[in-house]
Structure 1
Amino acid sequence: MLMSVMPAGAAAPVKAKAEVLPAGMARVTSVEGIDEYRLANGLQVLLIRDDSKPTTTVNLTYHVGSRHENYGETGMAHLLEHLLFKGSPKHPLVWSEFNKRGLRANGSTWFDRTNYFASFAANEDNLRWYLGWQADAMVNSYIARKDLDSEMTVVRNEMEMGENSPDRILFEKTVAAMYQWHNYGKSTIGARADVENVDIPRLQAFYRQYYQPDNATLIVSGRFDEAKVRAWVKEFFGRIPKPKRVLPRLYTLEAVQDGERSVTLRRVGGTPLLFAGYHVPAAADPDFAAVEALGLILGDTPSGRLHKRLTEKELAASVFSFTEGLADPGFALFGAELGAGQDPEPARKALLETLESLRTEPITEEELNRAKAKWLKGWSTAFTDPQTVGVSLSEAVAQGDWRLFFLTRDRVKALKLADVQRVAQSLLVTSNRTLGEYVPTAKPLRTPSLPRVDVAAQLKDFKGEAAQAAAEAFEATPANIDARTKVSTLPVGMKVALLPKATRGGAVQATLVLRFGDEKSLANWGRTPDALAALLDKGTATLSREQIQDKLDELQTELSISQAPGQLVVQLRSRRAHLVEAINLVAQMLRTPALPAPVLEEVRRQALAQVEQQRKEPDAVLANAMERHGNPYPAGDVRYAPSFDEIEADLKAVKLERVREFHQAFLSASHAEFAAVGDLDEPAVQAALQTAFGDWKGSRPYARIPDPLVPLPPAKLEFATPDKQNATLALRLPLPLTDRDADYPALMMANHLLGAGGDSRLWNRIREKEGLSYNVYSAVQWN
């Protein structure tokens, strides 16, 4: 956990560095290892050097999103995101260049910003080229009618993909009902009428007004040479003149809501959903940290109040929360997903009572401390990952200043119970609520006005924490990996592979695989293995479910458990100081799980709700049909592909006794594998594994489940999914090859040319030329 050593709000003085800056570039400030520069034309530049991974990520954020669109212009910011990839006179084939250089690039549009980003293996030539392309795209993109016309069907297809998702549409409808005047109520993708009838001169004017250096922030993170990057930024962006235009001042603020609102969405398929939305302060407001804590205190699973009062009491299959920190006052959403056919009235009543009863049921110190630990763990995870820290900073940039990323952390650390209680009582009131239902009520109570925040005033006394130590520059070549990796086998049979390397924040990632059974012994267990995997982190012989989650937060450790036929996989992300304790905690979960009956019922309800939703989803219907077509195995075989009805029946048939029997019969460390990479103490990890798993032997034999090629009869399968505007198409061809055949490289290259990249034949024909689909690809799957 990162601890602040300076009072938040104090502006750190710019430290003198032995660096020579290009003419026209000035150093602005440095906070916790992040350096800010400014070009004479106004471009803001953030450099985050981190050698812990051999990758570089570049993110260019334009301070423009759907909030800046005028009447008739909804979706314009998103359209520009698409059209920028259509090229310029200098770069006419953008996707082709990305593909040739191995760039994983894309763009995204939200309320306050538009991002263009790319990640790639650290390479100075690619980095220099990408910076040059970004600078050229800023002012020289075509934004032409012919490109708009060809892209229109793609954008329309993207709209229709969203229309297939009840929760996405309910989100848009609920937020639209919350905002009567402010543009946060407008969907980023835009109104169909505006998008389809967009005026190209207005779109070009929008581009020229907002795509300028004084309205952009360039963020480079990962492995790179800082001096060279500064020179390249000056070379490519510095030549762009500072615009003479003055950006319009946006002054619309949403009026205080004076009564509860509701919106109901009725469509085919899925399961009932409930959303309760509340206006909250802007991200820069000191009270927003309390909003973040409230999101976890109320919406977290399993410790949140909604989980305890809805999920555990079987009023809902699951609950969730979502807090949106924006440049202007934003919103918080709390919700519940119900089981198929479940009466929404009890869940609705419990949802609203829980959210709006904090005045009479105050928050406890324990709840606040737990929420702070979880939030700070998430912040630390983002900050220590060179590929995500840039994206996180871009959101703070959109909120008003990149240093809000750190200021909000300091505010969360400093949260007091009285502050969170005050914010809850002022915001979570009936008059400030908008209820959204997928399949409708309340009394007025005014909330205080939420003003725009003076970000500069909030940051005038801000100081950041000390910069973290630089991570090791490790070249991930096969030879280097082999040379560094320490391989061993424990007496019990567990194979161990450890690759110690210095990382930012002492991060370490590990995977534990338990292999067990064979095709005969694993037959006729139904969904029992799935239930076991879902229950293992829900309590042990000595720890409750909440205590496990609290311990994981305390250890700054993220954990996931999954299963496939014949194996159970545990994935860990932890820190050097906590890895040994994390291993011991995992051993408790695997060896002495509580397997509580009430939680089994919770897991069953969630799984059944998911099956019910999948029955009408085109992607899920098609995937299930493809798995079943030509499947030669009988019901009960682990390779058999069940129908949705059979999956439902199997879930309902799971018995706790069988779950316990499966655990005792199959799980052991006899055929296990453990691998870890990062800042780790090798002897300590070896000792921890021996202590935790050294006497965990299994008696049943293990053999890999054979999965031979099955010839499939030609067939054309069609399925109707009523009320779903977007269709899904898939083709499958069995091939008598394995990844050890001589033709393996040729097949992989052929697949890449056909449909694995942004310049593939499928992409160029179906997406770029015909505009028939938002996405198209091909892939090779090896069994």
Structure 2
Amino acid sequence: MSQNLTIVPPASSSEDRLLFTLDNGLRVVIQEDHFAPVVAIQVWVKAGSADETPDVAGAAHVHEHMIFKGTTRRPVGAIAAEVESSGGQINAFTTADHTVYHLVLASRYFTTGLDIIADAMQHSTFDPHELGKELQVVMEEWKRGEDSPPSRAATELFRLAYTTHPYGRPVIGYRETIEALNRERVLNFYQRWYHPNNMTLVIVGDLEREAARQEVMRLFASEEAVALPGRPRVPEPPQQGLRLSVVDMKVEEFSLYLGFHIPPAEHEDVFALDLLSYILGGGESARLVQTLQADKELVNWISAHAYTPVDPGLFIVAAALEQDKVRPALEEILAALFRCKHTLVSAAELARARANLESDFIYRRETVQGQARQLGYFLTVFSDPDYERHYLDGLAAVTQQDIQRVAQRYFSADTLSLVLLGATSDASLPTVAEVQTLCNRLDTEPAPAPLLWPKDNGRVSSTVLDNGVRLLVKEHHGVPVMALQAVMLGGLLFENESTTGINNLLAGLLTRGSERFSRLELAEAVESLAGSLRGFSGRNSLGLSGSFLTTSHIEDALDLFLDTLLQPTFPTEEVEKRRREVLLALKNREDDLAQTAFDLFYDTLFTAHPYRFLILGSEETVRALQREQLANYYRTLLNPKWLVVSVVGDVETAQVTAYLREALERLPAAATAPPLPPPDPRPMTVRRRHKA
């Protein structure tokens, strides 16, 4: 495949789409998709937390909770009951720039769904009693955020980076502003921004465009346009020096978040910044992941992301790590970032990043919800439903020199904001002066040598091989993607006091090396096909799932999937890395209070059955499990009589079935099979547990 070839086929054409604007200013897009009898309806309101005044921070988010809580025609609770009786789901989310209300339901109930959305947008009553209850819910949500290290660290990063612009305020608001919200203040925000000329209506699914247009006219045309107020957004002045914030939080794990100021969504540098973020932290083969997580084990996880909203954004690197690794991890992160200023990324890295960013658009087309969300975003932010083509052309035009140019332009110590969050009392953490000195050294030293980084649409075809393996294939040619899953009986079901955690350990090791590939080689091969692979385990199963574009050779993707499934080698070095990861996860689990409550619930509900165990296992068993034991157990579970392999997507049933048959029909039966556990005794009394 050419490294500069744009592999994404065009999205639905304008022949499948109807775009129009009502006299009152409401923008409407209707797109047909008849693969499944469902429809997605979304309303994008161009008002988010950045459009609040400081005294009502959190008001936009409260609307997300209240819009569906009663109208002049539907009392409190009626909307939820009506949606559920239609087999649908309704929800909303809030960002700094917009608030989105979304509904998906069976297409035969389209008129009902559209009527609900129209009624909620136009006639919400903001019932005082219901508002009081929802404000309590929001306050509990705020408290959970305060108890979450990633949430606290991200909130602090934005506060640190934005000193005047409202992006510095959290979307949910502050304790004092939430407590100060009342019906008058909430209604004031609604009356300022919730007008048809500030909204976009998106409809995607199994319907006829013209009939849908008539319904839109009937339900939305009567509302009048209203002059919108000015948006209270104070521009952020250029940052003139490095900023550091150390936050003390009594948790086991440290959080390291850093950000550099970058331009907004419409800027020409966004394409190169998105690619750079993927090269640094977007996949298993990304530089930061390989160096800090896989090779040097300095972090528990790490990611990079170019946040490009309507106004100038941030290039963010986030990591979780142990206290004693903060200094070396920070040095490695900054070294990797500044290295991009002095040396070109490789052609292979750029090709992988481009293929994966392009593939994101295809994966979004798999559902009507994904299509609707993409159309809504494009219209709300860029006023262009076909912005996808512009973005893909922008990605295709980016060169290695462009990546270096944006790194040089935006990666500067003077525009760096750094947050370190954790138990600081005994920690040896760098000061602002030390970080500045580190940046000066890493950004001015001679560049090191470049790194070498290592049609039968809809019917399910079912085939049972002679050895018992079951193959399920379903064609769906609407999007050039295929999803694969291999599932075998396993999970907690077969674990006991001495083996608890073995399935979770195995799931994380499936993609760490095979007979043909090392961990890095496999990651590079998968990402070169714009795909993904991951192992999983639960209470009843162990397996491997993946997704790939079908614009590449399908056989190559199937070959990678089968090699990973059938020939994992569980390298000793990777077993020990995985063991350390799980032990850290167990250590840090106490930081998640909600998860602790669930753990206690299962341990109370099941007294003898293995469902009482943690999927992660216990510290004792995870330390004791050995490589040979893992390999033998996996061979036992890889029993053809227990194995189901499914493929759904843009494939030919006969071709895929033949390929899988050839690879799997030689799979031998396991010599022994783990016994199923006896059922747990039925509870006869109330069981209560408490954990301080």
Both proteins in one fold, TM over 0.5: yes
Q: Distance in 1 between matches of 2:92 and 2:199?
A: 14
Segment drifting more, 581-590 vs 65-74 = 581-590
> Structure 1's 485 and 357: CA in aligned 2 closer, same or farther, altered over 3 A?
closer
The equivalent position to 1:624 in structure 2, one of 599, 605, 608, is: 599
What is the DSSP-based 3-state SS (H/G/I as helix, E as strand, rest coil) of the residue aligned with 1:388?
helix
* 8 Å contact kept, 1:259–1:443: no
Q: Distance in 2 between matches of 1:352 and 1:411?
A: 27
The equivalent position to 1:602 in structure 2, one of 577, 594, 602, is: 577
- The aligned residue for residue 524 of structure 2 is 550
- The aligned residue for residue 675 of structure 1 is 646
The equivalent position to 1:230 in structure 2, one of 199, 208, 213, is: 213
Q: Distance in 1 between matches of 2:576 and 2:644?
A: 31
Q: Distance in 2 between matches of 1:222 and 1:406?
A: 21
* 8 Å contact kept, 1:666–1:700: no
The equivalent position to 1:394 in structure 2, one of 376, 383, 392, is: 376
Query: Where does the alignment leave 5 or more consecutive residues of structure 2 unmatched?
Result: 423-429, 441-454
Deviation at 1:521, TM superposition (A): 9.9
Work out whether 1:407 is the aligned partner of 2:390. Answer: yes
Matched positions, count: 659
Q: Distance in 1 between matches of 2:480 and 2:301?
A: 34
Q: How does 1:214-613 map to 2 (within 5 A)?
A: 214-243=197-226, 245-249=227-231, 252-311=234-293, 312-339=295-322, 342-402=324-384, 403-439=386-422, 440=430, 441=432, 442-443=435-436, 484-500=459-475, 502-515=476-489, 524-564=498-538, 567-575=541-549, 578-613=553-588
* 8 Å contact kept, 2:25–2:197: yes
Q: Distance in 1 between matches of 2:173 and 2:635?
A: 55
What is the DSSP-based 3-state SS (H/G/I as helix, E as strand, rest coil) of the residue aligned with 2:28?
strand
Opposite residue 557 of structure 1, the aligned amino acid is G
Opposite residue 197 of structure 2, the aligned amino acid is D
> Structure 1's 251 and 711: CA in aligned 2 closer, same or farther, altered over 3 A?
closer
The equivalent position to 1:687 in structure 2, one of 658, 665, 668, is: 658
Segment drifting more, 105-114 vs 364-373 = 364-373
Opposite residue 626 of structure 2, the aligned amino acid is K
> Structure 1's 642 and 41: CA in aligned 2 closer, same or farther, altered over 3 A?
closer
* 8 Å contact kept, 1:512–1:674: yes
What is the DSSP-based 3-state SS (H/G/I as helix, E as strand, rest coil) of the residue aligned with 2:56?
coil
Deviation at 1:31, TM superposition (A): 5.1
Q: Distance in 1 between matches of 2:518 and 2:54?
A: 54
* 8 Å contact kept, 1:517–1:701: no
What is the DSSP-based 3-state SS (H/G/I as helix, E as strand, rest coil) of the residue aligned with 2:485?
strand
- The aligned residue for residue 92 of structure 2 is 107
Query: Where does the alignment leave 5 or more consecutive residues of structure 1 unmatched?
Result: 13-28, 447-470, 475-483, 721-783
Deviation at 1:554, TM superposition (A): 3.8
CA shift digits 1:422-467 (9 cap, x unpaired): 0011111111111111125334999xxxxxxxxxxxxxxxxxxxxx
Work out whether 1:718 is the aligned partner of 2:687. Answer: no
> Structure 1's 425 and 103: CA in aligned 2 closer, same or farther, altered over 3 A?
same
Opposite residue 374 of structure 2, the aligned amino acid is S
> Structure 1's 539 and 377: CA in aligned 2 closer, same or farther, altered over 3 A?
farther
CA shift digits 1:617-664 (9 cap, x unpaired): 22222222223236554xxx95562698x7122222233333333344
> Structure 1's 223 and 309: CA in aligned 2 closer, same or farther, altered over 3 A?
same
- The aligned residue for residue 96 of structure 1 is 81
- The aligned residue for residue 151 of structure 2 is 168
What is the DSSP-based 3-state SS (H/G/I as helix, E as strand, rest coil) of the residue aligned with 2:369?
coil
> Structure 1's 623 and 51: CA in aligned 2 closer, same or farther, altered over 3 A?
same
* 8 Å contact kept, 2:7–2:355: no
CA shift digits 1:358-417 (9 cap, x unpaired): 223432222211111121122221134322121233333443334434422221122111
Q: Distance in 1 between matches of 2:388 and 2:494?
A: 54
The equivalent position to 2:123 in structure 1, one of 135, 140, 148, is: 140
CA shift digits 1:155-188 (9 cap, x unpaired): 2122112222111111111111100111111111
Work out whether 1:71 is the aligned partner of 2:54. Answer: yes
> Structure 1's 408 and 575: CA in aligned 2 closer, same or farther, altered over 3 A?
closer
Q: Distance in 1 between matches of 2:297 and 2:92?
A: 40
Deviation at 1:50, TM superposition (A): 1.0
- The aligned residue for residue 60 of structure 1 is 43
CA shift digits 1:96-154 (9 cap, x unpaired): 3223333200111110000000111111xx32222223223333222354443332212
Deviation at 1:194, TM superposition (A): 1.8
Deviation at 1:259, TM superposition (A): 0.8
Larger RCO of the pair (alpha carbons < 8 Å, separation 6+): 1
Opposite residue 507 of structure 2, the aligned amino acid is A
Q: Distance in 1 between matches of 2:474 and 2:382?
A: 41
What is the DSSP-based 3-state SS (H/G/I as helix, E as strand, rest coil) of the residue aligned with 1:503?
coil
Q: Distance in 2 between matches of 1:542 and 1:674?
A: 21
Deviation at 1:519, TM superposition (A): 8.1
Segment drifting more, 578-587 vs 414-423 = 578-587
CA shift digits 1:597-622 (9 cap, x unpaired): 33223322322222122124222222
Deviation at 1:488, TM superposition (A): 2.4
Opposite residue 348 of structure 1, the aligned amino acid is L
Q: Percent identity?
A: 24
Opposite residue 656 of structure 1, the aligned amino acid is R
Deviation at 1:547, TM superposition (A): 3.1
Q: Distance in 2 between matches of 1:262 and 1:509?
A: 43
Deviation at 1:76, TM superposition (A): 1.3
More helix by share: 2
> Structure 1's 599 and 35: CA in aligned 2 closer, same or farther, altered over 3 A?
farther
Deviation at 1:556, TM superposition (A): 4.0
What is the DSSP-based 3-state SS (H/G/I as helix, E as strand, rest coil) of the residue aligned with 2:654?
helix
* 8 Å contact kept, 2:148–2:591: no
Segment drifting more, 623-632 vs 101-110 = 623-632
What is the DSSP-based 3-state SS (H/G/I as helix, E as strand, rest coil) of the residue aligned with 1:111?
coil
> Structure 1's 649 and 398: CA in aligned 2 closer, same or farther, altered over 3 A?
farther
Segment drifting more, 413-422 vs 193-202 = 193-202
What is the DSSP-based 3-state SS (H/G/I as helix, E as strand, rest coil) of the residue aligned with 1:358?
helix
- The aligned residue for residue 628 of structure 2 is 657
TM-score, with structure 2 as normaliser = 0.88
Q: Distance in 1 between matches of 2:687 and 2:125?
A: 44
Opposite residue 570 of structure 2, the aligned amino acid is L
* 8 Å contact kept, 2:533–2:544: yes
Deviation at 1:522, TM superposition (A): 8.1
Deviation at 1:350, TM superposition (A): 1.9
Deviation at 1:672, TM superposition (A): 1.8
Deviation at 1:668, TM superposition (A): 4.3
CA shift digits 1:197-247 (9 cap, x unpaired): 13543432321221111100001112112111100111111111222x243
Opposite residue 626 of structure 1, the aligned amino acid is F
Q: Distance in 2 between matches of 1:495 and 1:366?
A: 37
What is the DSSP-based 3-state SS (H/G/I as helix, E as strand, rest coil) of the residue aligned with 2:41?
strand
Work out whether 1:120 is the aligned partner of 2:102. Answer: no
CA shift digits 1:505-542 (9 cap, x unpaired): 24443432234799889884443433222122122222
Q: Distance in 1 between matches of 2:519 and 2:8?
A: 36
Segment drifting more, 170-179 vs 611-620 = 611-620
* 8 Å contact kept, 1:584–1:692: no
* 8 Å contact kept, 2:255–2:421: yes
Q: Distance in 2 between matches of 1:94 and 1:347?
A: 50
Opposite residue 681 of structure 1, the aligned amino acid is E
Q: Distance in 2 between matches of 1:326 and 1:33?
A: 29
> Structure 1's 417 and 31: CA in aligned 2 closer, same or farther, altered over 3 A?
farther
Segment drifting more, 516-525 vs 697-706 = 516-525
RMSD: 3.2
Segment drifting more, 698-707 vs 364-373 = 698-707
